[in-house]
Structure 1
Amino acid sequence: MHHLRTPGLRERKKRRTRQALATAALRLFAERGYEETTIADIAAAAEVSPRTFFAYFPSKEDVIFAEIDDRLAEVRDRLARRTPGETTLEAIRQSVVNVLEALVNEHGEYGAVQVRLVLERPALQARALQRIHQTQQEVALRIRDLCPALDEIDAVIVSGIAVGAMQSVLTHCRQHGLDPGTTRAALDRALMIMESGLGAVPALNEPGR
């Protein structure tokens, strides 16, 4: 089994600060409103300076996407590695499984706040669409690196299925306030359907060297 590198103390501290800022922001957005909440408010709630906020996020808009940015980065990183003998489909599955638990539990009740903000504001919708598009492109490139025999169009299709399925299900569950257990079950179903469909692509099922 492939083991992830254990992050060092400095890296763990940076992750905690980033998480604290994101959680504080969503809580304040829920309590005060998005426009009414300032970066200074978010920094104070996370017990850091506004300067520290900008070390982690370029703008107030970007803090809304902290969680999904981090999780998608993990998917991309996992796809950059391969366990000997692992098929591309297995690598895709493992990259998704690795982030399911975090997607279900992170931010808790504020997941619905995050989704509502994005769905209500055209500027945030545009940012979300841009992130999804970039992620699908990057994942397609990583999949082709793992599986050079895969046609370029097939790689785009596979990436769209994998990223789109998880994003759509998570948005639905948070929008409707579904509990973590129901959300996890829904994501598992999406994974099962995704795997069933991708099983029809022969190149994805060839073990890597």
Structure 2
Amino acid sequence: MSSTDVGLREQKKAATRQALRQAALRLFTENGYERTTVRDIASAAGVTERTFFRYFPSKEDLVYGELLDLVPLVQREIAERPAHEPPLTAVLEALLATAKQRSPGLAVFLISQPERFVASPSRPARPVLFDFEHSIAEALHHRLTAPGGTGAPDGRAAFHAAVWARASVAAIRSALIAHTDHDFDGPGGAKLTGLLREAFAVLESG
């Protein structure tokens, strides 16, 4: 097989994977995560169920893949926030900025039930949450130690960054659970934004 054929094959595989992800996120948004089946996703993407399983072992794996793709985007947004912003404010505004840029991707926080965000039969929760927390902690640590940053006691910047990162993830999860419990309207809406802002305000006021 020539290099050209290999390149075209890889392009086709990438296009199929992207089509499945876009179809899934659209259906999750329109119909809800639980009510969307693998058959629905495959049909919307114009492929068979067998093809779906060549790319994703399950719906859960598709969702977690989207979440992991967001990790560097949120990290970059945190790094680009104004240096004078408090750490929690920087995380919140970075999260909302990412939602505006990548709303279909950020919808994974909403379209899956919080329990599935925390744990999945096909993928342990710890690596997913750890990667997300770790990326936030890295970005906050850089802010604390950079010239003009908000600062931290000598030798404690890494620890403080880790605490803020884990607190931020807890606030995000709390907002999502409240969003699900109250059956608020679709992902990325004003009601969810309000819940996120309220959750972070609780942390800042505590």
Contact 2:114 2:176 in 1 (8 A): no
Contact 1:24 1:46 in 2 (8 A): no
Structure 1 residue runs without a partner (length 5+): 1-12, 198-209
Q: Deviation at 1:53?
A: 5.3
Structure 2 residue runs without a partner (length 5+): 1-14, 146-150
> Where do 1:155-194 residues align within 5 Å?
155-179=161-185, 180-194=189-203
Tell me the percent identity: 21
Local SS of the residue matching 2:121? helix
Contact 2:71 2:131 in 1 (8 A): no
Distance in 2, matches of 1:134 and 1:140, equals 10
Name the residue aligned to 2:139.
142
* TM-score relative to the length of structure 2: 0.60
Distance in 1, matches of 2:160 and 2:114, equals 33
Name the residue aligned to 1:23.
26
Name the residue aligned to 1:47.
46
Contact 2:134 2:165 in 1 (8 A): yes
Distance in 1, matches of 2:72 and 2:53, equals 20
> Where do 1:35-184 residues align within 5 Å?
37=38, 42-48=41-47, 58-60=56-58, 61-66=60-65, 68-83=67-82, 85-87=83-85, 89=87, 90-99=89-98, 102=103, 106=107, 111=111, 114-115=112-113, 118=116, 122-123=120-121, 127-148=124-145, 149-150=151-152, 151=156, 152-179=158-185, 180-184=189-193
Local SS of the residue matching 1:23? helix
Structure 2 counterpart of 1:95, one-letter code: A
Q: Deviation at 1:116?
A: 6.9
- Structure 1 range deviating more: 162-171 or 58-67: 58-67
Q: Deviation at 1:191?
A: 2.5
Contact 1:165 1:190 in 2 (8 A): yes
Q: Deviation at 1:161?
A: 1.0
Distance in 2, matches of 1:185 and 1:173, equals 10
CA separation of 1:176/1:96 partners in 2, compared to 1, >3 Å: closer, same or farther? same
Name the residue aligned to 1:205.
none
Contact 1:22 1:63 in 2 (8 A): no
* TM-score relative to the length of structure 1: 0.59
Structure 1 counterpart of 2:161, one-letter code: A
Q: Deviation at 1:132?
A: 1.3
Distance in 1, matches of 2:68 and 2:80, equals 19
Q: Deviation at 1:143?
A: 1.2
Q: Deviation at 1:154?
A: 1.2
Q: Encode CA deviations 1:33-72: one digit per residue, 9 max, x unaligned.
A: 5xxx35xx533322357798579x5432311335544544
